[in-house]
């Protein structure tokens, strides 16, 4: 199925396009009343993730309602720990919780390397979504970076410091590497399955990149992201490592096509560090969308000016916050479309 709107893919390939493509991290979900209606009819978040027809429906909602240039499959990065044998719960208004965590070699021994078929519900959701999208926009697949997944598996949930996870890197580096490698192989299997099912590109979320020192990041995160990027040869790859200022120059040299920036990363500096053979994605502060339309327009224009006319995918610098007015989100999408048009 050829894509009717392939702006995103042409931008990734480095082409000068008629305008800048736009989508939002975390666009599928929470901000839309249409999402909440589907979600409230179910037992919870996991039932939605695990029901392919409904996951496809909420994946497509932002394409219809917001007019974004890509869909991102509705799932979560935490499906991988579960596929490896560590169940998670999504606690209403609080976030993820793992009843069992990884503390020792014996715990790692109980895990398995996951296969794409262990996450069959998301693979099926991708197939249904591709069919229903009918080529309107590309579909983005995703996974967590091994370090971020490791952090949840060791910590057992969200944390301000992730000190248990960071501690394990010092107390048992060998076991840490063993677990990171198991997560990496599982992630490669999963992403290959996503690509086979029809995703047009994939994004790797290293949400907890910024809590590691550059030295620890270079040892415990970067090599595994690199392995994933080397293994996925079929589609373009985006790496988004939140708060990892120090990693930008490294990402310029690995086998990824796009680098995501958060809103604290200076655009000109990022361009210089990453180089011109990658596309950049981002990076408006999600809080811009709480402001007036005039201030959203001004911030969007300023962002577009700084990134320039090519090799930029407009997005926020992190996921859209749940209480953002969908009208403001739509206004941002419309502004990118209007202000970036070129002859
Ligand atoms: O981007 C999208 O729209 C696609 C769907 C998507 C979800 N999670 C759905 C979700 C994606 C890409 C993710 C990625 C994800 N999940 C990350 C990386 C991106 C980031 O934000 O840094 C992380 C760290 C997680 C783990 C996770 N899932 C947390 C910490 C939470 C609770 C806090 C929160 O953001 O709500 C979730 C729950 C979650 N994942 C929700 C959604 C729509 C909200 C739950 C609900 O609707 O009940």
pLDDT digits (tens, 9 = 90+) for 126-178: 999 999 999 999 999 999 999 999 999 999 999 999 999 999 999 999 999 99
Per-residue pLDDT at 92: 86
Q: How far is the CA of 74 from the centre of ligand 1 (A)?
A: 9
Q: Is the pLDDT of residue 1 over 80?
A: no
Residue 72: helix, strand or coil by DSSP?
strand
Domains, the chain: 7-339 (3.20.20.210)
Q: Would you tell me how many other CB atoms lie within 10 Å of the CB of residue 108?
A: 17
Question: Is 39 labeled as catalytic in the residue annotation?
Answer: yes
CA distance 30 to 250: 34
- The answer to whether residues 140 and 199 touch, using CB atoms and an 8 Å cutoff, is yes
Phi, psi of 148 (to 5 degrees): -65, -40
Give the pLDDT band (50/70/90) at residue 297: very high
Measured from the Cβ of residue 171, the count of other Cβ atoms closer than 10 Å reads 10
Is residue 72 within 6 Å of ligand 1 at its C-beta? yes
Mean pLDDT along residues 274-301: 98
User: Which residue among 10, 26, 36, 136 is the active-site one?
Assistant: 26
Give the closest residue (by CA) to ligand 1 atom 42: 29
Convert 85-102 to b/e letters by CB count within 10 Å (16 or more is b).
ebebbbeeeeebebeebb
- Centre of ligand 1 to C-alpha 123, Å, is 18
- Is 30 labeled as catalytic in the residue annotation? yes
Q: How do residues 58-100 score in pLDDT, each as one tens digit?
A: 999 999 999 999 999 999 999 999 999 999 999 988 999 999 9
Look at the pTM and tell me if it is higher than 0.95.
Answer: yes
Average of pLDDT values for 3-30?
A: 96
Whole-number mean pLDDT of the chain?
A: 97
Q: Quote the pLDDT of residue 29.
A: 86
Q: Which of 262, 333, 267, 342 is nearest to 300 (CA)?
A: 333
Burial of 53: CB neighbours in 10 Å, binned 0-12, 13-18, 19+: exposed
Is 245 a pocket residue for ligand 1 (Cβ < 6 Å)?
Answer: no
Report yes or no: 314 and 304 within 8 Å, Cβ to Cβ. Answer: yes
**Binning pLDDT at 50, 70 and 90, where does residue 44 land?**
very high
pLDDT at 157: 97
Q: Is 152 a catalytic residue?
A: yes
| CB 207 less than 6 A from any atom of ligand 1 | yes
30 pLDDT band (50/70/90 cuts)? confident
- Contact (CB, 8 A) for 129 and 59: yes
Distance 19 CA to ligand 1 centre (A): 29
Which residue, by CA, sits nearest to atom 34 of ligand 1? 95
Q: Where are the beta strands (DSSP E) in 155-255?
A: 201-206, 237-241
Q: What is the pLDDT of residue 343?
A: 74
Q: Is the CB of 219 under 6 A from ligand 1?
A: no
CA of 315 to the centre of ligand 1 (A): 16
CB contact at 8 A, 186 and 125: no
pLDDT band (50, 70, 90) for residue 115: very high
Residue 184 Cβ contacting ligand 1 at under 6 Å:
no
- Residue of 36, 39, 172, 285 marked catalytic: 39
What are the tens digits of pLDDT across the range 164-216? 999 999 999 999 999 999 999 999 999 999 999 999 999 999 999 999 999 99
| Average pLDDT of span 305-325 | 97
**Using CA atoms, how far apart are residues 213 and 196, in angstroms rounded to an integer?**
36
| Whole-number pLDDT of residue 93 | 85
DSSP 22: B
Q: What is the mean pLDDT of residues 325-342?
A: 97
Distance 341 CA to ligand 1 centre (A): 32
Half-sphere exposure of 289 (CA within 13 A, CB side): 28
């Amino acid at each position: 199925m050829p894509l009717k709107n392939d702006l995103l893919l042409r931008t990734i390939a480095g082409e000068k396009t008629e305008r800048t493509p736009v989508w939002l991290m975390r666009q599928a979900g929470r901000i839309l009343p249409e999402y909440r209606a589907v979600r409230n009819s179910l037992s919870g978040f996991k039932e939605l993730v695990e029901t392919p027809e409904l996951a496809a429906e909420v994946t497509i909602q932002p394409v219809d309602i917001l007019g974004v240039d890509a869909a991102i499959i509705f799932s979560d990065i935490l499906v991988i720990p579960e596929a490896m044998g560590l169940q998670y719960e999504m606690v209403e208004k609080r976030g993820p919780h793992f009843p069992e965590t990884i503390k020792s070699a014996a715990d790692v021994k109980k895990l398995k390397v996951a296969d794409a078929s262990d996450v069959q519900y998301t693979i099926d959701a991708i197939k249904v979504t591709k069919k229903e999208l009918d080529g309107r926009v590309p579909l983005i697949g995703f996974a967590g970076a091994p370090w971020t997944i490791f952090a949840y598996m060791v910590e057992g949930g969200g944390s301000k410091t992730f000190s248990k996870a960071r501690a394990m890197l010092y107390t048992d580096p060998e076991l840490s590497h063993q677990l990171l490698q198991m997560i990496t192989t599982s992630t490669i299997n999963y992403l290959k399955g996503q690509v086979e099912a029809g995703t047009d590109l994939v994004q790797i979320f290293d949400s907890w990149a910024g809590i590691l020192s550059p030295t620890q990041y270079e040892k415990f995160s970067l090599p595994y992201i690199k392995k994933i990027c080397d293994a996925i040869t079929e589609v373009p790859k985006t790496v988004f490592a939140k708060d990892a200022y120090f990693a930008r120059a490294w990402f310029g040299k690995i086998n990824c096509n796009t680098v995501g920036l958060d809103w604290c990363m200076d655009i000109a500096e990022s361009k210089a560090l990453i180089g011109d053979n990658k596309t950049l994605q981002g990076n408006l502060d999600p809080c811009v969308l709480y402001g007036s339309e005039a201030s959203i327009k001004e911030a969007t224009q300023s962002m577009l000016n700084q990134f320039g006319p090519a090799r930029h995918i407009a997005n926020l610098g992190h996921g859209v916050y749940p209480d953002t007015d969908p009208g403001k989100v739509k206004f941002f999408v419309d502004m990118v479309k209007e202000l970036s048009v070129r002859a």
